[in-house]
Structure 1
Amino acid sequence: MKTLRLAACLAMVLPMFAKAQIPISDVDLTRFYLRLGASLVYPDDNNTSLKYYLLQDWELYRTHWEVEDDTTWNVSGVWRPLPYLGVELLYIGDSDHSLTLQNFRATPGQDNIYFGRYSASSANLFVNWYMNDLICLGQPYLGIGVNYSDYYDDELNPDFQRYLINSGMATGPGRFGMGHSWGGSAQLGIDWRLGRGIARSWLINAAVIYTDSNPDAEVTYPTAPGYERLYSEFETNPWTLNLGITYEF
């Protein structure tokens, strides 16, 4: 489904590029935007259940993740050599997300357990198509790009640590890791110029971004003969709302 969504965006953008007429006089190699703002990161909750590499434990069967959203910061630079075309490098800073394991059957009378937390940051490279002329105050745009997401500061909650030990699965504390991922991304945004004259160089920005991000979540814990692992194909696929202020050079 996520592949189809990105393909649909590409199908919309590519014909527009193909039809565009680009006079040499429109080329401006000195038009840059610098943007700073806030990001609301909303991960997708539709993820694979936590399970053994070979066997599925009943207490983990059909579990699913609940991921808390978070607000962080972003910074980006845009090079806009043509009136209708720009290249944007966007960095979204550290966001912290707590994890709850839903439909968890180990505790009578309770169907979830607080699992742990992780932090994430991402870098995105977009090619943006701008829909209006440069003289317009409103500059809506559609972007297609590639994303690199880094996951770190992963840790297990004491509740889940106790479950691993009390259930006899582990002989000591376990650790949680997610690593990093590469994927596609798409955005729909708008820059709105604050006015003419002195205010012309300042714009406010809003954008909605979808990211295809699929790290491998893994819990490693000690056992009597060595160690064992639980894993999940963790599809965070976050939606991000960016709000910021832009300066045009």
Structure 2
Amino acid sequence: MSVKGITKKLFTLFLTLAALSAQAQEDWRDIEWGEFIVRFGFSYVQPNDDGTSLKYRVLQQWDLYNTSWQIDTAHTWQISGVWRPTDRWGLELVHINSANYGVALDNFTGNSGRDKIQLGDFSASSTFAFANWYMLDPSYITRPYIGAGINYTNFHTVDISRQFNEYLLDSDFSTAPGSFNMGHSWDWGLQAGVDFNFDLRRWRYPVLVNLSTIYYLADTDATVDFPTELGRDRLYAHFDYNPWIINFGVGTKF
């Protein structure tokens, strides 16, 4: 048999097997994909607010020596989605939107009779990807779980305070108003939570109530940039955000 004839027979065999395989494949609409959950809710954020003192690249600025960051707690909204391909495992995406903060520097010695100065304001938005393990099977109304994953935190809408700008100008450090700047962070996070499944009336889409706690690491280098007579200068600080978050959410599964 010639090479051409062998090639033709092999090609025919390949087409036949492909057709049989296509007929044997299950329709994607009949495949069991598991459960999908969507939630919307609120978050209470308690940042760690551990920041180093503002200083020049090498030298310490005396008025700011040993200052510490003070940041209040924040409230914001969050949205999440979960895919549970099996009864005990799930993949979750969580977004916590724009927690807003004001930063004050404690132990400040630059103004007589005042030991605190307002540095500025910023917002922090965080997005997480978790792998969750569920301790109980779906027959239980209460489904506790633990998870681990990664997070991306963006520090944005950063503004320097009028009070700190006045300090820079009055102390002859700056010849014009400066700017407060922060960056972003990639790091890991942990969570523990519980889903409550309210399906008493056998609704098509049951109501889910979720409570969870998240702890994660996030840090960034903060700077204060300002113009001088010789050009520009900069103060540096390292900020460890590292917050605890309590989430309350309501959603459904399908």
Whether TM-score is above 0.5 comes out as yes
Q: What is aligned with 2:224? A: 219
Could you state the TM-score of these two structures normalised by the residue count of structure 2?
0.85
Deviations 1:108-162 (A, max 9, x none): 2221111110011111000011111111111111110100011111011100000
Q: What is aligned with 2:49? A: 45
Aligned AA (2:50)? N
Q: Which runs of 5+ in 2 are unaligned?
A: 1-30
Q: What is aligned with 1:243? A: 248
1:205 partnered with 2:234: no
Q: What is aligned with 2:13? A: none
Structure 1 residue ranges (4+ consecutive) displaced by more than 2 angstroms after TM superposition: 195-200
Aligned AA (1:209)? I
- Find the aligned partners of 1:223 and 1:126 in 2 and give their Cα distance: 47
1:79 partnered with 2:83: yes
Aligned AA (2:101)? H
Q: What is aligned with 2:120? A: 116
1:96 partnered with 2:100: yes
Structure that is richer in strand per residue: 2
- Find the aligned partners of 2:85 and 2:53 in 1 and give their Cα distance: 46
1:229 to 204, 227, 234: 234
- Find the aligned partners of 1:217 and 1:191 in 2 and give their Cα distance: 38
User: Does the 8 Å contact 1:44/1:237 carry over to 2?
Assistant: yes
Aligned AA (1:214)? D
SS at match of 2:163: helix
Could you state the TM-score of these two structures normalised by the residue count of structure 1?
0.86
- Find the aligned partners of 1:210 and 1:175 in 2 and give their Cα distance: 30
User: Does the 8 Å contact 2:34/2:86 carry over to 1?
Assistant: no
User: Does the 8 Å contact 1:42/1:69 carry over to 2?
Assistant: yes
Describe how 1:126-137 pairs up with structure 2 within 5 A: 126-137=130-141
Percent pairwise identity: 40
Cα distance, 1:53–1:28 mapped onto 2, change above 3 Å: farther
| Residue 28 of structure 1: how far off its partner (Å) | 4.7
User: Does the 8 Å contact 1:124/1:147 carry over to 2?
Assistant: yes
Q: What is aligned with 2:15? A: none
User: Does the 8 Å contact 2:151/2:187 carry over to 1?
Assistant: yes
Deviations 1:12-32 (A, max 9, x none): xxxxxxxxxxxxxxx952310
User: Does the 8 Å contact 1:28/1:80 carry over to 2?
Assistant: no
Which piece of structure 1 moves more, 132-141 or 190-199?
Answer: 190-199
Aligned AA (2:221)? D
Deviations 1:12-69 (A, max 9, x none): xxxxxxxxxxxxxxx9523100010001121112221211111001111111100122
SS at match of 2:122: strand
Cα distance, 1:231–1:28 mapped onto 2, change above 3 Å: farther
How many residues are aligned here? 223
1:105 to 106, 109, 119: 109
User: Does the 8 Å contact 1:84/1:129 carry over to 2?
Assistant: yes
Deviations 1:180-220 (A, max 9, x none): 11111111111111243425721110111112100111111
Q: What is aligned with 1:155? A: 159
Aligned AA (2:48)? D
SS at match of 2:176: coil
Aligned AA (2:162)? P
- Find the aligned partners of 1:242 and 1:69 in 2 and give their Cα distance: 14
SS at match of 1:198: coil
- Find the aligned partners of 2:100 and 2:69 in 1 and give their Cα distance: 15
SS at match of 1:111: strand
- Find the aligned partners of 1:168 and 1:234 in 2 and give their Cα distance: 26
* RMSD (Å), alpha carbons: 1.4
